[in-house]
Amino acid sequence: MQQATIQIVRPASPPVAAPQRWEVAQIEALFELPFNELLYQAQTVHRANFDPAEVQLSTLLSIKTGGCAENCTYCPQSSAYDTGVEATALMKVDAVLEAARAAQAAGATRFCMGAAWRSPKERDIEKVSALISAVKGLGLETCATLGMLGDGQAEALRDAGLDYYNHNIDTAPDKYADIVQTRQFEDRLDTLQRVRGAGVKVCCGGIVGMGESRTQRAALIAELANMEPYPESVPINHLVQVEGTPLHGTEVLDPFEFVRTIAAARITMPHTRVRLSAGRQALGEAVQALCFMAGANSIFYGDKLLVTGNPDVTADQALLQKLGMRAA
């Protein structure tokens, strides 16, 4: 009797999707879509990758405030402008831990420590490392934003327990020189490379409402989406206009344009946490709800951002409850 030959058919290995490269024009075309069509596309991408009822909560703390040597024209902490912000020294471990415990008790899962430095010195890295280890010890995710990093600094922060480093590219490459003159766009990319190279997760986003064009908003999103890999966390800030800064008095961006920017970030970076960041007080509840519909699934949570205000914790809890959303 003839033996049947059994042929083992191995499934072809799944194709590895090449990362998609986004042209600015493609992202501009998303912005041009009818609003409801854009939101539908963003919501579809969002639901394929996340539970649409979940929102991640990050709390900010300014661990070293004001007196910064950079001249970022949006920033109340630059020493170049008279904004009434008082410069302070780096906070001590106990005070930081107290703030982190309060954030955790209120429901935050990530604690982000911000310092108004152009770039930290070695001594600063040692001190901040102690803060990171202490916060990590509470069981919180850790994030820091300390300015430009030099050799070995990202590694030192990683070894202290840093999960995320925040470093924003802020705006389109061709708008950057209008916004900051004390550093170059490429300096930001260099630090982001160092963070990625050290194996620390990248939190990188920008600010809209600084007088940029729609094409420049699309170019900001393209820069982020074309990073390989794109950031794990993308904060989209709506400019908080602070008296004394050069950008105070800029024409306020149409809120629908802000929602469109969130949607474009969600569509082009399907797996990232898109954070509805600074500027929520001015947006109001209905626009924030549209941002969640457009795919935002993270917020800064706590009564203060770094030096400016943020909705109260109780107001945010009430908003999430009204929308049937919950902390991730």
Question: Which residues are near ligand SF4 by CB under 6 A?
Answer: 68, 70, 72, 75, 77-78, 116, 118, 147
Determine the interface stretch with ligand DTB among 7-15, 36-44, 86-94, 306-314 (rule: CB under 6 A): 306-314
3-state secondary structure the chain: CCCCCCCCCCCCCCCCCCCCCCCHHHHHHHHHCCHHHHHHHHHHHHHHHCCCCEEEEEEEEEEECCCECCCCCCCCCECCCCCCCCCCCCCCHHHHHHHHHHHHHHCCCEEEEEECCCCCCHHHHHHHHHHHHHHHCCCCEEEEECCCCCCCHHHHHHHHCCCEEECCCECCHHHHHHHCCCCCHHHHHHHHHHHHHCCCEEECCEEECCCCCHHHHHHHHHHHHCCCCCCCEEEEEECCCCCCCCCCCCCCCCHHHHHHHHHHHHHHCCCCEEEECCCHHHHHHHHHHHHHHCCCCEEECCCECCCCECCCHHHHHHHHHHCCCEEC
CB of 109 to ligand SAM, least distance (A): 20
In this complex, which beta carbon is closest to ligand SAM, that of residue 38 or of residue 283?
A: 283
| Catalytic residue list contains 72 | yes
**Shortest CB 234 distance to ligand DTB, Å:** 9
Residue 110 partner contact from ligand SAM, ligand DTB, ligand SF4, none using kind-dependent CB cut-offs of 5 to 8 Å: none
75 catalytic residue (yes or no): yes
| 275 carries an active-site annotation | yes
**Residue of 194, 196, 203, 266 marked catalytic:** 203
**Among residues 67 and 107, whose Cβ is nearest to ligand SAM?**
67
Q: Closest separation between CB of residue 30 and ligand SAM, Å?
A: 22
291 is catalytic: no
Asked if 114 is part of the footprint of ligand DTB (rule: CB under 6 A), the reply reads yes
Interaction of residue 308 with ligand DTB, rule CB under 6 A: yes
Nearer to ligand DTB, 59 or 153 (CB): 59
Residues that bind ligand DTB (CB under 6 A): 60, 76-77, 114, 145, 166, 168, 205, 235, 237, 240, 277-278, 305-308
Catalytic residues: 68, 72, 75, 112, 143, 203, 275
